Amino acid sequence: MPKDDQLWTYSASELATGFGRGDYTPIDVLESVIARMEDINPRINAVVTTDLDTARVAAKASAQRWRNGCPSGALDGVPMTVKDNVPVAGMRATWGSELFSTYVPSEDELCVARLRAAGAVIVGKTNCPELTVQGYTDNAIFGLTRNPFDLDLTPGGSSGGAVAAVAAGICPIAIATDGGGSIRRPASYTGLIGMKPSRGRVARADGFAAILHDCEVVGPIARTVADVRRVMEIIGRPHFRDPMSVLLADEAYEAGRPKPCRILYLPEFGSSPVDRQIADSVARAADLLSSLGHRVEAGAVPFDIDALGMAWTTISQTGLTWLLKRHFSAGSRVGTDIQAMYEAGSRLRAEQYYEALAMLAELKSTLAQLYEAYDMIMTPSAAAMPWPAGEAFPNIIDDQPVGPRGHAIFTGFVNMAGCAAINLPSVPNARGMPIGFQLVGPVGADKLLCDIGEQYESAFRPPRIWPLR
């Protein structure tokens, strides 16, 4: 039987096995992760709101179900966190903005309600940048979140709090959102598995307003693919309140051995720079996938990155402007970066927004043709290594100047097309800082990505490094 103070190191799958054998209880696990959080969180600022009384009640009820031999599911009693832009009943949900600093929802967002019904124990909310539109994690309410592998560096964003919590051992699973790479890039900076489900795979209701068209999805972050799979089995189902979700057939997530796949490997996007440490690490991951029997072919990006970047800017600025105009005093209550985006969005014309949507439609058509020849696409998850925690983005990548989205060049197209994607760890750099890559499948390829990810994970077998031990 493990020491109670080490239970925070266990994956969700390991915890469920132990619950079933009676080695320990959900109460033991919760107290272990609370102790870890109290020790570590002051240094990384990952979890910004907690409701430990409710969590203890949930853990006690879960322990009773396990004693009775009738757990509610594979995640019954497993502690997890939820990103601060996903409402949890009775817990403050700020979206990282003073606009919502006092908002306490009375209902769970649908995915949280499903997890709670399955017995998951919600420990707290994780930090995010204001309105989740930036690639690092800081805001005026809660301040800066730091990367547990190097406290001087960012864990990325907008799910920086979520990945920092999982990587540091505060919880085995975090629920987050991905609107343009906000799960995959931070997961790559912290050595984690990050799933960006297909558009419509995770039904949504009772959440904040959508400001990124239909590009943002809810997905899990975990230390193992098996844990990601367990979450998707619960939240990855249609619901009548989200018509988009009904368009995707219900999918089983049981593990399966994948067939050899045809993988288009895109090590770079045109002339956009990639950190050499990342390029070398991801190339080694491509070799490993080849050794597993997959056909990995290097190629060139098949769409116009600059045009898509313009489309993304138009969509995000327009959505942000629409949201802020619903709050008459918004200008004095948002940060300067958000105010600048609002002002830029206010100058956009309707035809520019329509042109952006036309670009998205063209991208979907291009990828539909590509997926006739390939099963998936492989790219780095991020173009830059983590940068100083208080800076919004790196200005230089591989000795070349870049703009605000230079580090994020690889991920946005996935959201614009609605594809499924997963971040997987590759070989860390010489300092031990994590690096990751993404596999991108067509809409509906969520289970295949989990299967490939688990196969890769089994062959790669990265050691679990606990930062701040």
Q: Tell me the per-residue pLDDT of 402-456, one tens digit each, with 9 for 90 and over.
A: 999 999 999 999 999 999 999 999 999 999 999 999 999 999 999 999 999 999 9
Residue 158 falls in the annotated catalytic set: yes
Q: Where are the beta strands (DSSP E) in 113-158?
A: 121-126
The Cα 154–Cα 406 span in angstroms is 16
Q: Is the confidence at residue 146, as pLDDT, over 80?
A: yes
Biggest CA-to-CA distance, the chain: 64
Mean per-residue pLDDT, 130-143? 98
Cα dist. 298→46, 156, 264, 285, 448 in Å?
A: 37, 27, 6, 13, 21
Confidence of residue 463 (pLDDT cuts 50, 70, 90): confident
Beta strand 295-298 with 262-265 is parallel
Residue 198 falls in the annotated catalytic set: no
Marked catalytic residue, from 97, 158, 272, 316: 158
Tokens standing for 377? 């696409």
Confidence of residue 464 (pLDDT cuts 50, 70, 90): confident
Task: State the CB neighbour count (10 A cutoff) for residue 340.
Answer: 12
- Greater confidence (13 vs 327) lies with 13
Residue 290 falls in the annotated catalytic set: no
Mean per-residue pLDDT, 368-396? 98
Amino acid letter at 445?
A: A
Task: State the CB neighbour count (10 A cutoff) for residue 76.
Answer: 23
Mean per-residue pLDDT, 86-93? 98
Closest-CA residue to 258 (of 465, 419, 42, 459): 459
pLDDT above 90: percentage of residues in the chain: 93
Residues 197-214: pLDDT tens digits?
A: 999 999 999 999 999 999
Assign domain 7-460 to its CATH superfamily: Amidase signature (AS) domain (3.90.1300.10)
Marked catalytic residue, from 182, 188, 198, 426: 182
The Cα 81–Cα 261 span in angstroms is 34
Residues 226-276: pLDDT tens digits?
A: 999 999 999 999 999 999 997 776 566 666 778 999 999 999 999 999 999
Marked catalytic residue, from 83, 125, 196, 447: 83
Mean per-residue pLDDT, 65-87? 97
The Cα 223–Cα 227 span in angstroms is 7
Cα–chain center distance at 226 = 16
> Helices 446-460 & 276-291, crossing angle to 10 degrees?
100
> For the chain, what are the domain ranges?
7-460
65: part of which helix (H) or strand (E)?
Answer: helix 52-67
The Cα 197–Cα 248 span in angstroms is 11
